[in-house]
């Protein structure tokens, strides 16, 4: 099995080491611009078009995140193979926690209190009413 790896903006070494550990019989290699070595699978995050272009031998592309927008934007450079994305890997819980934090921070006006503290001001701010506080949710997806 031959695996081609690319992850934009990150350190590839932990990924490469992990893949090699769990797949000891596979040849796992980092994609290098200008090289068109055959591969059975591509493991990617936001790959450049030239990485996948011409790789018609691929059996599947594994995306390292839930969002596949960057792959779909490659158009004709994207080989006609299945795309497998991370379904969760703990991201849903982390995102739910972050959203809870962000809503509570805004509702309790922590950002405004921080600004006041930076300026050495201590002015009363009327709290928001729960009854008048609306939270909108757009697109739940896997969350």
| pLDDT tens-digit readout, 128-140 | 999 999 998 887 7
Instruction: Output the DSSP codes for 40-105.
Output: SEEEEES--HHHHTT-TT-SEEEESSS--HHHHTTGGGS-SS-EEE---TTHHHHHHHHHHHHHHH
User: pTM of the entire structure?
Assistant: 0.67
In which band, very low, low, confident or very high, does the pLDDT at 34 lie, cut at 50, 70 and 90? confident
The model's pLDDT over 85-112, given as tens digits with 9 standing for 90+, comes to 877 667 788 888 999 999 999 999 999 9
- pLDDT tens track for 38-78: 999 999 999 999 999 888 899 999 998 877 888 999 988 89
pLDDT number for residue 137: 84
The strands making up 60-63's β-sheet, listed across from edge to edge, are: 27-30, 2-7, 41-45, 60-63, 83-85
């Amino acid at each position: 099995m031959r695996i081609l790896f690319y992850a934009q903006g990150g350190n590839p070494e932990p990924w490469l080491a992990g893949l090699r550990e769990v797949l000891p019989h596979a040849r796992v290699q980092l994609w290098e611009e200008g090289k068109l070595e055959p591969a059975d699978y591509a493991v990617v995050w936001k790959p450049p078009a030239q990485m996948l272009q011409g790789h018609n031998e691929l059996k599947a592309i594994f995306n390292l995140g839930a969002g596949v927008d960057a792959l779909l934007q490659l158009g004709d450079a994207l080989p006609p193979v299945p795309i497998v994305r991370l379904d969760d890997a703990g991201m849903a819980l982390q995102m739910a926690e972050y959203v809870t934090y962000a809503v509570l921070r805004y509702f309790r006006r922590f950002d405004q209190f921080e600004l006041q503290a930076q300026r050495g001001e201590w002015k009363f701010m009327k709290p928001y009413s729960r009854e008048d506080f609306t939270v909108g949710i757009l697109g739940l997806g896997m969350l």
